[in-house]
Structure formats: C-alpha cells, structure tokens
Structure 1
Amino acid sequence: MSGHTGPDVVVVDDGVVAGRGGEIPVRDYRPASPAARTALLWVHGGGFTSGGLDQQESDAPARFLAAAGTPVRTVDYRLAPRALPWRDPDLTPHPGRYPAGLDDVVDVARALIEASGGPIAIGGGSAGANLAAATVLRLRDEGLPLPRSAVLAYGTFHAVLPEDEQVESELSGILAKWAFNPTMTRRMNLNYVGEPGALAPGYPFPGGADLRDFPPTLLVDARNDRLRKSGHTFAAELRAAGSEVRETVVEAQHGFLNKPRKPAFATGMRDIAAWLTAHD
C-alpha cells in the first residue's frame, strides 16, 4: 500500500481485500491525527453499473469525514453491465450482476470488522445505499457484528418504486420529472439482478424484507428526486421493525454528494458527520 497526504490533511492508502470473487480494490482515508473512532465503510452509487474509487461520490465524502475524524474505507465493487434507461436491458448472463457487487461489499465489510476488532459503521449513496443496507442484512444473517449505525443517501431500496403522491407533486424540472420514473427504475433493477423473478424483497432489494435488528439509520434524501419515495418508505419500514431512524431532506437533486463544490454537498455531509459522531 502506498500513502499520501491529501489536501484535507487526510492520509490516503490504496489496497486490496481478498474476496470470494478475487481481489477487491479499496481505498482507506485516515485522519492525519488518528483518534479512536468507528471506521466507516462507504459505498458509491452509479445505478449498479458505473463508478469507482475515483468517483466524486466515493472520494469526496470519504475525505470530508476523514478530515472530521472518522476513518473511512471505500470499495471498488464489481459492476453490472451498462444499460440504456429508455430500453429493456439485455439479460445475457454477466459476471458483474447480483450478487457480485454485494458479495464484494460484504467481503470488504467483513475484512474491516476484523481489522477494526469490532463493529463498524456503513453507508452509501444511491445504488451504494442499497448495497450498504443489503450488507447489513447479510452480516446479520451470517452472524457477524452489526454496524453501529448506517447512513443511506438518496437510496433505491425497492424492486418496484413505491407510490408517494407528495414526493411526486414536489418534483420540478424536466430532468427530475423524467429520472427514475417507474419504468426506468424497473429497468435499472432488472439489469442489476438479471432476471424478472429476482425483482422481490430480499438481499438485492432490502425494501420490504426482514429488517429486524437493523442499526440506527440516517436517511439523507434529495427533495427533487423521485427516489425519495423509496427512501421515505424504507424509513417507515425500519421504524416498523423497531430501528432508530432519522430522515433529513436536502434541497437538491439526486446525486448531490457527487458534486462537492455545491452547497448541498456540505449540508448533507454535515448531517452525516454529526450522525456518525453521535453513534460512535
């Protein structure tokens, strides 16, 4: 592993974790003056088909939180094939489809738990929020320590996008009114799992699944984002399962953690940092 000091006085190291599907690239972000804080596994989004360690949504939140004292690991999980949102996906078998990416995140979580000597925190944005939530379920069912807390930003959690008239009425602008419509969301989900029969609650789609013992969870959604329907519904499901839940809505569109120079990024990250500190 080779380290360097970033502009936020954060030490960054690239490495790999041995996973069931091969070596998984990871990146560790450590405060220059380390403190005894719970490590966070942060998972980028990208519709299950894009993104990586250099993606802003992966790198910028990790740097922000490490500069605030939280050690962070990001993960370059395997990706499903690219697909166009205006046509049904090609369902030819592909090695990056479910459960490949989730297996990678679970394996990195397991390694981070072992390295930390105890529970971690977990979080992610968009598709990464889905994978983070699914990893909690996998850790629980595999008898591993559950995270101290979870942070789920503008996530997609349901195989079928829930209805929410209030969210729909608050959408503004051509892009927000088109993006993540029910047909588009179904195509994204189908491309991820590779077969219609897998479009159901469970590990690929934690929404509607067994959520018992889920850790305290912060959901950070964007107001002008149709996926807020999924986040709001998932929050209600977590509460029904007995979990501590906080919801916050940022005045922005989907993916605002991918734009670190915008005010919405700082707004969302301050909420996330405060949550992690309170649940350390």
Structure 2
Amino acid sequence: MKNVFKWVFILVFSVVLLPLLVVFFIYKKAVGKREYDPSVLENLKDEAAQNYLKNTAPLSDVDSRYKYIRLKEKATPSAKNIEIGATEDKKIDGPGGKIPLRIYTPKEEGPYDIILYFHGGGFVTGGLQSHDGIARKLVQTTGARVVAVDYRLAPENPFPAAIEDAYAALLWAQSHKTSLRNKGTSLIVAGDSTGGNIAAVIAQMAKAKNGPEISKQILLYPTTDIFSRDASVLYPSMDQFAEGYVLTKESLDKYFKLYLKNASDRKYDPLVAPIRSKDLSGLPKAFIITAEFDPLRDQGEAYAKKLKDASVPVFAKRLDDTLHGFLKTESKATDETYELISEFLEEE
C-alpha cells in the first residue's frame, strides 16, 4: 500500500507540482524589481499612460521575462467585455505546420472589410490572447472582420518563420474571400509594433509577387528598421527614450538578436527592415501612428516620409503624451487611434 501512495505522489509531483514549480521560479526571476524612473511620470499627463508605465515597466532580466510573458499571455482571459458578434478559432496549413487564426466578426451583417492582423511582441512574445482586446476593439469601432494570425515566434522559430506564416495567412485570406464575406476585391493588413513590421513587409511582398491585392496597411507604432544599437544614429528617439518608457533599447537589442538568430547578415534585408527597400512606389495606402515617448517613434515617422516621397498616400500622426503599446490602455490616445482607423477605412 505504501508503494502505491509513493508512486501516486511521484506521479502527482511530476505531472502537476513540478511544472507549477518551474513556472513559479521563472515568474520570480522574471518579475524581479520593476525599474522605472519616477521623473518620467511627470512627462505623462494622461493617468492611463502613467498607470501603464507603472504596471509594465521594463524588467532587468529580458531572457526570463519573455519566457514569463509567454506563459502569462497564454493564460490571459479573452476581452469578452468588448462585445462583438462572434469569434472563431481555426488552424490553417503553413510552411512550418499549422497556423492558428482567430476570426472576429461584427454584430452587423456583412459583407465586410477584411483586416489581417499581426500582433506585436518583439517577434518573441504575444499571441491571440495578448491582443484579443485590440482585435475586438478594431471590429467594434470599424465594422470590419478581423483575422488575427498567431505566427511562429523566435528564438525557437527565428526569421523568416514569422514572415512565412504571415504571407501564408494572406494567401489563405485571399482564397477564402467569399467565405469571409469580403466586400471588395482587396485585403487590409495591420499590426502593432513588430506586427506593424510584419504588415509592412507583407505589403511589400504582395507587391513584388503581383498579389494578393492589398488596398491599405495600418501600422501602429511600427518597427521599420533594425533593433541594434547603431539604429540610434538614424533615429534619435532610440537614445532619447532608451530607458524608463516601457520599451527599452536593451530589450529591443535583445529581441532583435533572438529574431535574427543565425541570420545576422540579413539585418538590412527589407524582409527584416522594410524601410531599407529601394523602391516603395506602388504600395498600399498607409496609416501610421507613432507615440511621443517611444524609442521606435522616429523610424516609424521616417517610414511614413519615405512612403510619401515614393508617392504612396499616407496618413501619419504622432500622438502626444503616449508610450509604446498604448493600445492596451484605456487612454484618450487609444480611443483617438481607433476613431482615426475607422475614418481611414471609410476613405476611398
């Protein structure tokens, strides 16, 4: 009888308690001490922005942090308080296996604009759950149907895995426009932060491959160039907001290295840094929002200018008193962004 209890204990420990202990130690190491400069709060007049900084201030251990964030995001509940018509989870075939999608449908009857949405997270974190609220808000405010793409993440799946999955999802949406009830002949790509990078890259790929047809691209505080430290030469905001504003220069550098694992020679490739493309003419009409206190601000604005110089129609706006990632807050800047996106989609 004692042997039975012994084996039951071993089984419970190995299957239940051991994984919980691993999660606990990762959590303890990752959370550590949150580091933010209290003087930074004086620059943020918006209370939602101040609270966001306090709650998401950067952590010293980037390696442990991304592991913890992945675990946390998988357990994040859906933002069901943002009411829409329906959601559907499905998986499609991709170059590296199945690609999870979540399709968000408005309450209203179609047909709809179809937005293919790519989440942010430095190419190493994020997923359907972490950006569920953003996708729902997009549906609620624009009346579009949103297809969120859960692309493969680094470092397990470094570049070009995310791009390959994103383009496969675009091809799937193109071939399923009828069942998606697309009201036009073209699609819309969108994303925040590194998701904005993916959306911009996919728009360039579609142009180079003569399809699928993309009518608009929505880039929200996007990454358009390399993360490495020498980027601050071109983009002063990389140094100006290197520390203390949620997203740090150190974490950007780390995420970039994880993303380009075994492919550091590709850091100037337009598939990594869309702003490095030699020809941006003929790309879809662009909507680009940047945040005042964001190390990525200047490269997002530089991409907007380069698109304009290539005669691409661009709506670009810098939102004051905001931080990188503000779409996850309940700030005035967040509400304004969704309103502007809605207006952008209504334009011919």
Confirm or deny a common fold (TM above 0.5).
yes
Residue 244 of structure 1 pairs with residue 335 of structure 2? no
Measure the CA separation in 2 of the matches of 1:11 and 1:54: 15
Cα deviation digits, residues 51-99 of structure 1 (max 9, x gap): 11011xx222221222231111001000002xxxxxxxxxxxx4x1011
- Among 110, 123, 129, the alignment partner of 1:35 is 110
The gaps in structure 1 that reach 5 residues or longer are 82-93
Residue 156 of structure 1 pairs with residue 223 of structure 2? yes
Query: What amino acid does structure 2 have at the position aligned with 1:79?
Result: L
**Which residue is equivalent to 2:144?**
70
Query: What amino acid does structure 2 have at the position aligned with 1:273?
Result: S
Which is worse superposed, 59-68 or 41-50?
59-68
Give the paired residue count: 255
Residue 79 of structure 1 pairs with residue 153 of structure 2? yes
**Which residue is equivalent to 2:213?**
146
What SS is found at the alignment partner of 1:175? Answer: coil
Structure 1 pair 164/199, CA: closer, same or farther in 2 (3 Å)? closer
Measure the CA separation in 2 of the matches of 1:67 and 1:126: 21
- Among 246, 266, 280, the alignment partner of 1:198 is 266
Measure the CA separation in 2 of the matches of 1:142 and 1:20: 17
- Among 102, 108, 113, the alignment partner of 2:169 is 108
Structure 1 pair 143/240, CA: closer, same or farther in 2 (3 Å)? same
Query: What amino acid does structure 2 have at the position aligned with 1:138?
Result: M
Cα deviation digits, residues 197-243 of structure 1 (max 9, x gap): 11113112111213221110010111111101110111111112220
Query: What amino acid does structure 2 have at the position aligned with 1:269?
Result: Y
Measure the CA separation in 2 of the matches of 1:245 and 1:168: 23
Residue 257 of structure 1 pairs with residue 327 of structure 2? yes
* 8 Å CA contact retained: 1:158, 1:201: no
Measure the CA separation in 2 of the matches of 1:64 and 1:258: 10
How far 1:7 moved relative to its partner?
4.5
**Which residue is equivalent to 1:222?**
291
**Which residue is equivalent to 1:128?**
195
Measure the CA separation in 2 of the matches of 1:53 and 1:255: 16
Query: What amino acid does structure 2 have at the position aligned with 1:246?
Result: F
**Which residue is equivalent to 1:266?**
335
RMSD: 2.2
How far 1:44 moved relative to its partner?
0.5
Measure the CA separation in 2 of the matches of 1:9 and 1:145: 28
How far 1:274 moved relative to its partner?
1.5
Structure 1 pair 189/215, CA: closer, same or farther in 2 (3 Å)? same
Structure 1 pair 36/218, CA: closer, same or farther in 2 (3 Å)? same
The gaps in structure 2 that reach 5 residues or longer are 1-79, 179-184
**Which residue is equivalent to 2:44?**
none
Structure 1 pair 212/155, CA: closer, same or farther in 2 (3 Å)? same
Residue 275 of structure 1 pairs with residue 329 of structure 2? no
* 8 Å CA contact retained: 1:158, 1:207: yes
* 8 Å CA contact retained: 1:125, 1:155: yes
Q: Which has the larger radius of gyration?
A: 2
Structure 1 pair 184/51, CA: closer, same or farther in 2 (3 Å)? closer
- Greater fraction helix: 2
What SS is found at the alignment partner of 1:243? Answer: coil
* 8 Å CA contact retained: 1:44, 1:51: yes
* 8 Å CA contact retained: 1:201, 1:207: no
